[in-house]
Amino acid sequence: MRASERRHPCRFRLWSAASSTGAEAYSAAMILAEAAGTDGQLDWTILGTDISTRVLDEAMRAIYPCDQLDPVPQDLRARYTMSGRGTKESTGVARIVPELRRRVRFGELNLIDPPYPVSHGLDVIMLRNVLIYFTEAQQQQVIANIVGHLAIGGWFFVGHAESMIVQDHRLAQIAPATFRRKGD
Ligand SMILES: C[S@@+](CC[C@H](N)C(=O)[O-])C[C@H]1O[C@@H](n2cnc3c(N)ncnc32)[C@H](O)[C@@H]1O
């Protein structure tokens, strides 16, 4: 194939804001890795942020008790987690494989302290189960700040108990807890 015929990879950026220990970010990573396949045409990366450095340290270690991985389908668990010394069964823990860890970055970020040092034009932002910790005024401010980082047509997810909080005119509700950024 000539260089002029080579397609540029499609970029896909996801932000897990309030990522906690990284379960959400690595679950999304498994799905994106599956979607990307092996042809290199989907260049995906994930950013996980949280206010707590304790949970971020755990997220970066990417080691989880096997029972926490139980809800992950068996074929994905087999492809994207690995055991250290001994088997997953004997140690009771498993680690996310390096191929996924390489594409998932974590950093400290307080949602109540904008501006956020995060790229704009993101394809997906997950802001799940954290709005409940904020006052009403803080909730609307955080949503407004977050939506500013979303691409037109980008997807925004909140927790199932949080849909009613989202009232930003730039968003269309698609399903419970699921929103999409409208054109400006
Ligand atoms: C209940 S967990 C939700 C984790 C994940 N999003 C989920 O749904 O499973 C809430 C997370 O929000 C983080 N958090 C609380 N206040 C925050 C703030 N002001 N900025 C960023 N993260 C915050 C906590 O440290 C915690 O990890």
* Residues 3-33 pLDDT 10s: 555 667 899 999 999 999 999 999 999 999 9
Q: Give the separation between CA 45 and CA 32, rounded to whole angstroms.
A: 9
Task: Output the pLDDT for position 80.
Answer: 97
47, 50, 163: residue to mutate for ligand 1 pocket, most atoms within 8 A of CB: 50
Residue 1 has pLDDT above 70, yes or no: no
Residue 2 confidence class, pLDDT cut points 50, 70, 90: low
Segment 133-148, tens digit of pLDDT: 999 999 999 999 999 9
Task: Output the pLDDT for position 5.
Answer: 59
- CA 114 vs CA 38, 169, 175, 179: distances in Å: 38, 20, 28, 22
Q: Is 128 in the pocket of ligand 1 (CB under 6 A)?
A: yes
Number of residues assigned to the chain: 184
Q: Is 68 in the pocket of ligand 1 (CB under 6 A)?
A: no
| 67 closest CA partner among 88, 98, 97 | 88
pTM value is 0.93
Instruction: State the average pLDDT over residues 23-52.
Output: 95
Atom of ligand 1 nearest to the CA of 21: 27
Q: Is 132 in the pocket of ligand 1 (CB under 6 A)?
A: no
Give Cα 123 distance to the centre of its chain.
11
Task: Output the pLDDT for position 90.
Answer: 77
| 81 closest CA partner among 68, 55, 103, 63 | 63
Residue 91 confidence class, pLDDT cut points 50, 70, 90: confident
Long-range contacts of 77-80 (CB under 8 A, 24+ apart): 79/30, 79/33, 80/26, 80/29, 80/30, 80/33
